[in-house]
Amino acid sequence: MTPVRDTTAGRRIVVCVGSGGVGKTTVAAAIALDRALAGGRVLVCTIDPARRLANALGLTSLGNVESRVPDHKFAEAGLRAKGELHAMMLDVKRTWDDLVARHAPDPARRERILKNRLYQQMSSALAGSQEYMAMEKLYELATDRDYDLIVLDTPPTAHALDFLDAPDRILDFLGNDAARVLLAPAIGAGKLGLRLAQLGGGYVAKTLARFTGQAALSDLGDFLQGFQGMYEGFKDRAGAVRALLSRPEVGFVLVTSPSPISIDEAMAFHERLHAESMPVAGLVANRVTPDLWPGAAPLPSPEDLASPLGERGGNDRGFARRLAETLAEHQMLAAAERRALERLFEAVSAPYAVVPRLESDVHDLRGLARLAERL
Amino acid sequence: MVTGKGGVGKSTVSAALAVLAARAGKRVLVCEVNARERIAPLLGAPPAGAQIREARPGLFTLNVTPPDAMREYGIMVLKFRTIYDAVFENRLVRHFLRVIPSLAELVMLGKILFEAKSEERGRPRWDVVIVDAPATGHAVQLLRVPSALLDTVPAGPLRGDAEWMQALLLDPARTALAIVTLPEEMPVNEAIDLDAQVRSELGVPRAALFVNAMPEARFTHEEEARLESLAGEPPPLGPAAAAARLQALRAEQAQRYLARARAALDLPTTVLPLLPVAEWGAAAVERIADAIAAAPPEPAP
């Protein structure tokens, strides 16, 4: 049974979401590889892949460069791709710069923004910046390129929902009318401090300057002025991205580990996608402890293991005891995870795949192909 | 300051350190930073929210959030509540404050460090303040705020605050940064990157590495060699051997990543056991506290 594979099969865009550390990148790469093996021309866009996974995909640098995974990488893994697999690592700063360049009315304005201290901070440090740029890049790739499938891995946010909230938060920042009103008398003069001092009615602005410092206010004023007139373009674009994400050719794949925290995140995310009519293609429970003792029979005691162990090359009591303990611990964990996941599967009406914790980290194409078979 | 990649057990380690300090008769405050509150529930107490609350004798918790920290800090800076209310409770201003980069971090860090240096009747109010800091990138953002302000802000109250905050953060007699990680690839990579950033940019005194959830080496090499074929046996031996084999493989991988972390980080290290518990709660935290007490962070031999 491969439920998630089936429901993602017809889509043109797959977005993998979930909290940090659940294996989103690996699942994204596996979905992409699977379609490439079947004959599709596929791109996987990752954010911060583990080094060995990056190597497996032939990713050596940032810089938004789409590079094709070479045939010999497939051959080494004993695979033959009927299609093509391309991979790319998102460069947040460059995506921002490109976006500014696209919307700036003239080169002077572009330079002014790119040189602003606050802009430089924002493109790397403002919360939501990475998420916003991931969506922006996705839109660009989806409209300008002719891939059969684009798989987007999303940034490792503390809260998965940040991904959907990011554009609004950044737009709120760029189009902050309150800031414009408060800074309006100062904007244009360049010498904010002077202007603030001159404002008879600038009681509010003066108090704020006492609080934040005037340099910060000047930077902000300069920055917002630079963006004046560009905001509409940004807003339209964000609207288009949102519309794209609601199309049926898009499928969100929720990735979770069996930990309660990550399950809660997945449920919250699902609720949100549902509320916004964004299409959920499936659910992947990753790194699940496999059930090695199915059924209701009691777990074996050390004595139960001693005699078959004796027949198979010798028994020592310590070994039998440790085997029994290890199985018992293993099963306790498996049962706790199953209970937690059942809650999720009941709440989320989407096809789901349960991927057992594999014996080693997935870090090559062969491992990805095996993972895909379990989706 | 306790930080590390998301999901590695920062809150558990923070709670365990707090339990240890409280056991030693100290007055402890544990601060979470704008988080889904976990510390108090981990200790079996109701969530504290934005008000400091005693979770157990001598152990207090607090969840620092931007709006509450902003209000407290604002009133402190402006001296007069009426001015704060007139200006900051203005809807327009509140909207504006949300978009000033780093302001949220500044007021949250300010609140925490203010608690750290506050006094009651001539004595420090807290013996220890433990910060369950946000995950790596956000923790760096938080700890970078004072130095960023010192770089950009001219003289004034804000600069004065940034100065004492930075002095406190950089003082090895008063501040220590602990990194928490798991013996797995991504968390170890992130711990190494974080440590490099702490050294080159932040300068906050590095104190300890906690490698959490370390599976024990339970089987000898000879036993491990037998497990592979035994795993093919019918129940009950087969499944028991299969479970043992998975455990042994995990333990072996974990050893490799532990060695990598130790070699790259050069920090006093405590290795915490992987606990076979289904639900995390006060009992598990006590066990982690015991493990830290039994083997406090020590430099590599």
Q: What is the pLDDT of residues B148-173, one digit of tens each?
A: 777 766 666 677 888 999 999 999 99
Of the candidates B83, B244, B247, the beta carbon closest to that of A207 is on B83
Residue B126 — left, alpha, or beta (φ > 0 → left; ψ -120 to 50 → alpha)? beta
CATH code, domain carrying A262: 3.40.50.300
- Per-residue model confidence (pLDDT) at position A18: 87
Query: Which of the four pLDDT bands, split at 50, 70 and 90, describes residue A49?
Result: confident
Tally of CA atoms within 13 A in the half-sphere of A194 that contains its CB? 5
Query: Which of the four pLDDT bands, split at 50, 70 and 90, describes residue A303?
Result: very high
Structure ipTM = 0.86
- Per-residue model confidence (pLDDT) at position A198: 40
Q: What is the pLDDT of residues A265-290, one digit of tens each?
A: 899 889 989 988 889 999 999 999 99
- Please indicate, yes or no, if residue A55 is contained in any of the structural domains: yes
- Per-residue model confidence (pLDDT) at position B44: 94
Which chain A residues are closer than 8 Å to B219 by Cβ?
A: 319, 322
Q: At what angle do helices A129-144 and A231-245 cross, to 10 degrees?
A: 70
For chain A, strand residue ranges (E) read 13-17, 41-46, 67-68, 84-89, 149-153, 250-256, 280-288, 352-356
CB neighbour list of residue B144: distance below 8 Å, 6 or more residues apart: B201, B202
Tally of domains in chain B:
1
Which chain A residues are closer than 8 Å to B186 by Cβ?
A: 21, 50
Which chain A residues are closer than 8 Å to B93 by Cβ?
A: 178, 182, 204, 208
In this structure, the answer to whether residues A307 and A354 fall within a common structural domain is no
- Please indicate, yes or no, if residue B50 is contained in any of the structural domains: yes
Q: What is the pLDDT of residues B39-56, one digit of tens each?
A: 999 999 999 888 999 999
In this structure, the answer to whether residues A273 and A369 fall within a common structural domain is yes
Which chain B residues are closer than 8 Å to A300 by Cβ?
A: 235-237, 240
In the predicted model, what is the mean pLDDT of residues A174-191?
A: 59
In the predicted model, what is the mean pLDDT of residues B94-107?
A: 71
Of the candidates B36, B99, B186, the beta carbon closest to that of A179 is on B99
In the predicted model, what is the mean pLDDT of residues A337-360?
A: 90
- Please indicate, yes or no, if residue B1 is contained in any of the structural domains: no
Pairs of residues, one from chain A and one from chain B, whose beta carbons lie less than 8 Å apart: 163
In this structure, the answer to whether residues A163 and A81 fall within a common structural domain is yes
Average pLDDT taken over every residue of chain A = 84
Q: At what angle do helices A302-311 and A317-347 cross, to 10 degrees?
A: 120
- Per-residue model confidence (pLDDT) at position A150: 97
CB neighbour list of residue B266: distance below 8 Å, 6 or more residues apart: B300
Whether B260 has its CB under 8 Å from any CB of chain A: the answer is no
Which chain A residues are closer than 8 Å to B185 by Cβ?
A: 50-52, 361
Tally of domains in chain A:
3
Of the candidates A20, A182, A300, the beta carbon closest to that of B7 is on A20
Q: Give the pair of three-digit tokens for residue A291.
A: 């059930």
Q: Is the pLDDT of residue B190 over 60?
A: yes
- Per-residue model confidence (pLDDT) at position A195: 46
Contact criterion met (CB < 8 Å) for A50 and B185:
yes
Contact criterion met (CB < 8 Å) for A361 and B276:
no
B28, B59 in Cβ contact below 8 A? yes
Give yes or no for a cis peptide into B236 (omega within 30° of 0): yes
Helix H or strand E segment including B3:
strand B2-4
Q: How many helices (H) and strands (E) does chain B have?
A: 12, 10
A94-130 in b/e form (b: 16+ CB < 10 A) is: ebbbbbbeebbeeeebbebbbebebbebbbebbbbbb
Q: How far apart are CA A40 and CA A77, in angstroms?
A: 19
Q: How many CB atoms lie within 10 A of CB B5?
A: 26
- Please indicate, yes or no, if residue B209 is contained in any of the structural domains: no
State which amino acid sits at residue A318.
G
Q: What's chain A's length in residues?
A: 375
Q: Is the pLDDT of residue B85 over 90?
A: no
In this structure, the answer to whether residues A205 and A346 fall within a common structural domain is no
In this structure, the answer to whether residues A217 and A114 fall within a common structural domain is yes
Q: What is the pLDDT of residues A209-266, one digit of tens each?
A: 666 666 666 777 777 777 777 888 888 888 898 889 889 999 999 999 998 888 988 9
Whether A327 has its CB under 8 Å from any CB of chain B: the answer is yes
Helix H or strand E segment including B76:
helix B66-78
- Please indicate, yes or no, if residue B266 is contained in any of the structural domains: no
DSSP A287-313: EEPP-SS-SSPPPPPHHHHHHHHHHTT
Q: Is the pLDDT of residue A202 over 60?
A: no
Domain hosting residue A317, numbered range: 302-335
A199, A206 in Cβ contact below 8 A? yes
**A366/chain B closest Cα distance in angstroms:** 19
Q: In angstroms, how far apart are the furthest CA atoms of chain A?
A: 96
Contact criterion met (CB < 8 Å) for B157 and A210:
yes
- Please indicate, yes or no, if residue A90 is contained in any of the structural domains: yes
- Per-residue model confidence (pLDDT) at position A345: 94
Within the 96-115 window of chain A, which residues sit less than 8 Å (CB to CB) from chain B? none
- Per-residue model confidence (pLDDT) at position A191: 46
Q: What is the pLDDT of residues B222-240, one digit of tens each?
A: 999 999 999 999 999 999 9
- Please indicate, yes or no, if residue B244 is contained in any of the structural domains: no
Q: What's chain B's length in residues?
A: 301
Whether B201 has its CB under 8 Å from any CB of chain A: the answer is no
Bridge partners of A15, per DSSP, are A152, A252
Higher pLDDT, A218 or B198: B198
In this structure, the answer to whether residues A191 and A136 fall within a common structural domain is no
Residue B236 backbone dihedrals phi, psi, to 5 degrees: -85, -10
In the predicted model, what is the mean pLDDT of residues A84-99?
A: 91
Q: How far apart are CA A127 and CA A92, in angstroms?
A: 12
Within the 59-88 window of chain A, which residues sit less than 8 Å (CB to CB) from chain B? none
Residue B217 backbone dihedrals phi, psi, to 5 degrees: -80, 100
Q: How far apart are CA A329 and CA A325, in angstroms?
A: 6
Which chain B residues are closer than 8 Å to A182 by Cβ?
A: 92-93, 96
In this structure, the answer to whether residues A87 and A27 fall within a common structural domain is yes
Classify residue A16 by burial, with Cβ atoms within 10 Å: 0-12, 13-18, 19+: buried
Closest-CA residue of B relative to A265 is: B36
Whether A117 has its CB under 8 Å from any CB of chain B: the answer is yes
Q: Give the pair of three-digit tokens for residue B55.
A: 């979770």
Whether B75 has its CB under 8 Å from any CB of chain A: the answer is no
- Please indicate, yes or no, if residue B26 is contained in any of the structural domains: yes
Whether B135 has its CB under 8 Å from any CB of chain A: the answer is yes
In this structure, the answer to whether residues A314 and A212 fall within a common structural domain is no
Contact criterion met (CB < 8 Å) for A210 and B96:
no
A154, A15 in Cβ contact below 8 A? yes
In the predicted model, what is the mean pLDDT of residues A351-356?
A: 94
- Please indicate, yes or no, if residue A99 is contained in any of the structural domains: no
A interface mutation test: which of B71, B96, B149 has the most A CBs within 10 A? B96
Within the 280-299 window of chain B, which residues sit less than 8 Å (CB to CB) from chain A? none
Query: Which of the four pLDDT bands, split at 50, 70 and 90, describes residue A193?
Result: very low
- Per-residue model confidence (pLDDT) at position A189: 46
Q: What is the pLDDT of residues A112-123, one digit of tens each?
A: 888 887 787 766
Whether A330 has its CB under 8 Å from any CB of chain B: the answer is yes
- Across B1-15, B80-94, B138-152, B267-281, least confident range: B80-94
In this structure, the answer to whether residues A203 and A164 fall within a common structural domain is no
A193, A214 in Cβ contact below 8 A? yes
CB neighbour list of residue B28: distance below 8 Å, 6 or more residues apart: B18, B21, B22, B58, B59, B60, B126, B127, B128, B129, B130
- Across A171-175, A179-183, A303-307, least confident range: A179-183
Most confident listed range (A102-116, A206-220, B250-264): B250-264
Whether A158 has its CB under 8 Å from any CB of chain B: the answer is yes
In which residue are the tokens 């299969």 written? B242
Whether A175 has its CB under 8 Å from any CB of chain B: the answer is no
Domain hosting residue B120, numbered range: 6-175
Q: Give the pair of three-digit tokens for residue B57.
A: 């004798």
- Please indicate, yes or no, if residue B259 is contained in any of the structural domains: no
In the predicted model, what is the mean pLDDT of residues A337-363?
A: 88
CB neighbour list of residue A158: distance below 8 Å, 6 or more residues apart: A19, A20, B6, B134, B135, B138
- Please indicate, yes or no, if residue B257 is contained in any of the structural domains: no
Of the candidates B83, B87, B141, the beta carbon closest to that of A125 is on B141
Whether B239 has its CB under 8 Å from any CB of chain A: the answer is yes
- Per-residue model confidence (pLDDT) at position A196: 43
DSSP B215: P
**A77/chain B closest Cα distance in angstroms:** 22
In this structure, the answer to whether residues A19 and A161 fall within a common structural domain is yes
In the predicted model, what is the mean pLDDT of residues B12-32?
A: 97
Contact criterion met (CB < 8 Å) for B100 and A216:
yes
- Per-residue model confidence (pLDDT) at position B77: 67
Contact criterion met (CB < 8 Å) for B235 and A330:
no
Nearest to A357 by CA among A342, A340, A337: A337
Closest-CA residue of A relative to B7 is: A21
CATH code, domain carrying B63: 3.40.50.300
Q: Is the pLDDT of residue A192 over 50?
A: no
Whether A303 has its CB under 8 Å from any CB of chain B: the answer is no
- Per-residue model confidence (pLDDT) at position A60: 75
Q: How far apart are CA A94 and CA A91, in angstroms?
A: 6
Higher pLDDT, B68 or A208: B68
In this structure, the answer to whether residues A89 and A29 fall within a common structural domain is yes
In this structure, the answer to whether residues A182 and A71 fall within a common structural domain is no
In the predicted model, what is the mean pLDDT of residues A1-16?
A: 91
Query: Which of the four pLDDT bands, split at 50, 70 and 90, describes residue A203?
Result: low
Whether B77 has its CB under 8 Å from any CB of chain A: the answer is yes
Contact criterion met (CB < 8 Å) for A172 and B98:
yes
- Per-residue model confidence (pLDDT) at position A81: 93
Whether B83 has its CB under 8 Å from any CB of chain A: the answer is yes
Within the 48-67 window of chain B, which residues sit less than 8 Å (CB to CB) from chain A? none
Q: What is the pLDDT of residues A107-150, one digit of tens each?
A: 998 998 888 877 877 666 666 778 888 889 999 999 999 999 99
Q: Is the pLDDT of residue A197 over 50?
A: no
Q: How far apart are CA A65 and CA A297, in angstroms?
A: 55
- Please indicate, yes or no, if residue A260 is contained in any of the structural domains: yes
- Please indicate, yes or no, if residue A369 is contained in any of the structural domains: yes
